[in-house]
Amino acid sequence: MPLNGAGIIAGHNGGHFWGGRMNRKGFTLIELLIVVVIIGILAAIAIPKFANTKEKAYLASMKSDLRNLVTAEEAFFADSVKYTTVGAGGVLFNTTSGVVGPTIAVTADGWTARVTHTTTTKTCAIYVGSTALAPANKEGEPKCQ
């Protein structure tokens, strides 16, 4: 290649051929790999934190149904001066979709109830009166295990 008067190869301009600057568009492979690695690290942190979100939602729906049952039982008690079971002549009560039960037992001074869910093995219980039903250990407060 012939040299021009400045000692630069003719047709060569500052390290870039074709007489102009190199037009850089896009990202290099290294830059893309770094982004993928960062996203992978963030996903590895976030996924375990949200893995049991559905389980928590099922437990929350069972606890909510038990709290609503307390309200229904107390309303029935206010009218009839006794507690009852769900069904004919008793409390009219509907559960959330997927919640099975409640299984209500009337005790000498109150009642106990237990519910389950179709998609989890855990159960929730509540009691009113002096007869506790595990896992519930505080009167009127639903507890799950």
Q: How does pLDDT run across 3-28, given as a tens digit for each residue? A: 555 555 555 555 555 555 666 788 89
Mean pLDDT of the chain: 85
- Tell me, what's the pLDDT at 137? 93
Residues 67 and 116 in one domain: yes
Q: Is residue 58 part of a domain?
A: yes
Give the residue from 75, 127, 65 showing the smallest Cα distance to 102.
Answer: 65
For 59-88, how does the pLDDT look when each residue is reduced to its tens digit (9 = 90+)? 999 999 999 999 999 999 999 899 988 766
Residues 61 and 25 in one domain: no
Residues 62 and 39 in one domain: no
Residues 57 and 123 in one domain: yes
Q: Which long-range contacts (CB under 8 A, 24 or more apart) does 27-36 make?
A: none
Residues 121 and 58 in one domain: yes
Q: How many CB atoms lie within 10 A of CB 113?
A: 25
**Per-residue pLDDT band at 50 (split at 50, 70, 90):** confident
Tokens (6 digits) for 77: 């008690």
For 97-127, how does the pLDDT look when each residue is reduced to its tens digit (9 = 90+)? 999 989 999 999 999 999 999 999 999 999 9
* Residue reference for tokens 């389980």: 55
Phi-psi region of 144 (alpha: psi -120 to 50; beta: other; left: phi over 0): beta
Q: Is residue 2 part of a domain?
A: no
Give the residue from 112, 99, 88 showing the smallest Cα distance to 60.
Answer: 99
- Tell me, what's the pLDDT at 26? 87
- Tell me, what's the pLDDT at 94? 87
Residues 32 and 70 in one domain: no
How far, in Å, CA of 100 to CA of 62, rounded? 9
- Tell me, what's the pLDDT at 68? 94
Residues 76 and 26 in one domain: no
How far, in Å, CA of 145 to CA of 132, rounded? 15
Beta bridge mates, 103? 114
Residues 72 and 140 in one domain: yes
Residues 28 and 89 in one domain: no
Q: Is residue 64 part of a domain?
A: yes
Report yes or no: 115 and 62 within 8 Å, Cβ to Cβ. Answer: yes
Residues 44 and 59 in one domain: no
Q: Is residue 3 part of a domain?
A: no
Number of folded domains that form the chain:
2
Range of the domain at 28: 12-50
Residues 66 and 128 in one domain: yes
